[in-house]
Amino acid sequence: MKESLRPELQALRERLQRTGDDYRDEARARRHAAGYRTARENLDDLVDPGSFQEYGQLAVAAQRTRRDYVELQSSTAGDGIITGTATINADQVGAQAARAAVVVNDYAVLAGTQGFFHHRKLDRLCELAEQHALPVIMFTEGGGGRPGDTDVLTHIAGLHVESFSTWARLAGKVPRIAVNNGYCFAGNAALFGCADFTIATQTSWIGMAGPAMIEGGGLGKVAATDIGPLEEQLKNGVVDIAADDEAHATALAQQLLAYFQGPVQAWSCAGQEPLRDAVPEDRRWAYPVRKVIETLADTGSFLELRRVYGRSIITGFIRLEGLPVALIANDCQQLGGAVDAESAEKAARFLGLCDDFGLPVLSLTDTPGFMVGPASERQAAVRRMSSLFITGASLQVPVVAIFLRKGYGLGAMAMTGGSFVAPVYAAAWPTGEFGGMGLEGAVRLGFRKELEAVDDPAERERLFDQLLAQMYEAGKASEAASFLEIDAVIDPAETRATVLRALCAAGVCPPSAGPPGASPRHGA
């Protein structure tokens, strides 16, 4: 039998259908022809099936005085923005922890521009996120403010909208993840830049003004693809993670959000014995610290942020026995692991975010100290490097420091919360070495007269090597531990267990049964 519906219910169904992809087939075809997905396709891929509760689906652009109302219902569906609540990753973290708010700007509606009701919907969702502590994922593609909303008679400049302040007000309260594909200009770019974490596809162009605004400002004609391409925005730190396409970006957003949703039960890890040989026997050689991280972490759990910005410090997230942990690590293959102005500022911002949201921190330290020299000072090193001390002093989450090799000077202290006694536990591998500054520099400064007194260059070099060896013996890890400058020297293969025990002592324990780090296991 054919279903019989009351007229008002039938009318509602027809009205809702006008907002869907099937009804807007031409717009969907244009997106697919460009290699992109529709807003609702991204939404469906992001949230758990059946969990999305939409707000404001029946909104249209405030243009009823200039356009046909029925036509507006499809061509300006939702006023260019989809907002609602959902669960994300419920199968990993449970339904309660998986609660989230979702915003998807719809570029197929008036180029994703921000209109009157668009802003109202965004404000409503940000207020809900603040009231109910919901993390937010926002897809930001769009062209900024919209000048054609003729129905609004109470605006002149339209600058008394609250969307930017309601979005920014969430800072430090809930994690905010922005995802971009395509053009993201003006107001949309401001929302993207305000987010705590940013993901962008290879086909992303992000700028505080689009071509029309640039030309209107008398700065000439500029192609949209010349404004803020991904390569530039990665180098300057605007984008945290690069994605291949929208599907990849969506998966990265789910993974990134999961670190703030809590521990997971299922995990596995690599054998830890290779860590014993991770640091070369020759202390002058560099090594790939990312291999150390990937071995130490639960398999597949390492997610790096800002890889090509501030390259001498790696920032990202890992899991240890399912427990989410924030990580910073010196990369000795970049500037020898020295902390420069850019990497210091990058790490300080990252640590501040992790503290806001309660993630414990693991620091893998191998640094000769702060980067020095006139070029470094021209980068505002004094202010930017000092930001690591300010952030470190305010951290409320536990920090565990593991010294893989070098722990020299102010740079090493900055990597450990500002002091070697700031971490809940500070341990070194047997390859650890310590001093107020790099050994080579210490010998040249401290023994300058002795070295200058030797005329023969070969003999002077032998004396230098002899003094260097003496200083290395005095500053090696076991000696530092004997003077209680660090808490312990450990077998590298026991690093996971050591870190987990330290975190558990600080009240942050993994969900696994038994003593933390007791033995590797595979989750179900």
Q: Buried b / exposed e across 139-155, counting CB within 10 Å, b at 16+?
A: bbbbbbbbeebeeeeee
Q: Distances from the Cα of 114 to the Cαs of 38, 44, 184, 238, 496, in angstroms? A: 17, 22, 12, 22, 48
Residue 448 has pLDDT above 80, yes or no: no
Give the mean pLDDT of 147-172: 79
Which is more confidently placed, 341 or 517? Answer: 341
Q: With H, G, I as helix, E, B as strand and everything else as coil, classify residue 361.
A: strand
What per-residue confidence (pLDDT) applies to 219?
Answer: 86
Is residue 522 scored above 90 in pLDDT? no
pLDDT at 163 over 90: no
Contact (CB, 8 A) for 109 and 76? yes
pTM of the model: 0.91
User: Is residue 518 pLDDT above 60, yes or no?
Assistant: no
pLDDT for position 95: 96
Residue 250 DSSP SS3: helix
Residue 173 has pLDDT above 90, yes or no: yes
Question: Amino acid identity, residue 358?
Answer: G
pLDDT average, residue stretch 44-68: 93
Mean pLDDT, residues 247-266 taken together: 97
Residue 409 to residues 242, 415, 420, Cα–Cα distance (Å): 34, 10, 11
pLDDT beyond 60 at 291: yes
Mean pLDDT for the stretch of residues 472-480: 82
pLDDT at 362: 98
Share of the chain above pLDDT 90, in %: 74
Tokens of 329: 């690590």
Give the C-alpha separation, 56 to 482, whole Å.
65
3-state SS assignment for residue 263: coil
Instruction: Please give the structure tokens belonging to residue 430.
Output: 């047997």
Q: What is the pLDDT of residue 154?
A: 64
Averaged pLDDT for residues 58-73: 87
Distances (CA, A) of 434 to 308, 340, 490: 28, 19, 15
Percent of the chain with pLDDT over 70: 93
Report the pLDDT value the prediction gives residue 483, as an integer from 0 to 100.
Answer: 92
Lowest mean pLDDT among 68-72, 119-123, 252-256: 68-72
**Helices (H), ranges, 184-334:** 187-194, 211-216, 230-235, 246-261, 289-296
- pLDDT single digits (tens) 106-116: 999 988 888 88
Decide if pLDDT at 516 tops 60.
no
**Identity of the residue numbered 333:** Q
pLDDT of residue 475: 75
Could you tell me the pLDDT band of residue 439, with boundaries at 50, 70 and 90?
A: low
- Judged by average pLDDT, the poorest of 65-79, 252-266, 454-468, 484-498 is 454-468
How much is the mean pLDDT over the chain?
Answer: 91
Asked whether residue 441 carries a pLDDT value surpassing 90, the answer given is no
The answer, yes or no, to whether residue 157 has pLDDT greater than 60, is no
| Cα–Cα dist 502/317, whole Å | 18
Higher pLDDT, 336 or 446: 336
Angle, vertex CA 86, rays to CA 19 and CA 240, nearest 5: 95
Calculate mean pLDDT across residues 351-379. Answer: 94
**pLDDT at position 354, please?**
97
User: Is the pLDDT higher at 455 or at 74?
Assistant: 74
Of residues 481 and 4, which shows the higher confidence score? 481
Q: Tell me what the mean pLDDT of segment 450-472 comes to.
A: 76
Determine the Cα–Cα distance for residues 282 and 486; give it in Å rounded to an integer: 23
Burial of 190 per CB tally in 10 Å (0-12, 13-18, 19+): middle
The mean per-residue pLDDT over the stretch 394-422 comes to 96
Q: What average pLDDT does range 230-257 have in this prediction?
A: 98
Q: Are strands 176-185 and 136-139 parallel, antiparallel or unpaired?
A: parallel
Q: What is the mean pLDDT of residues 375-379?
A: 91
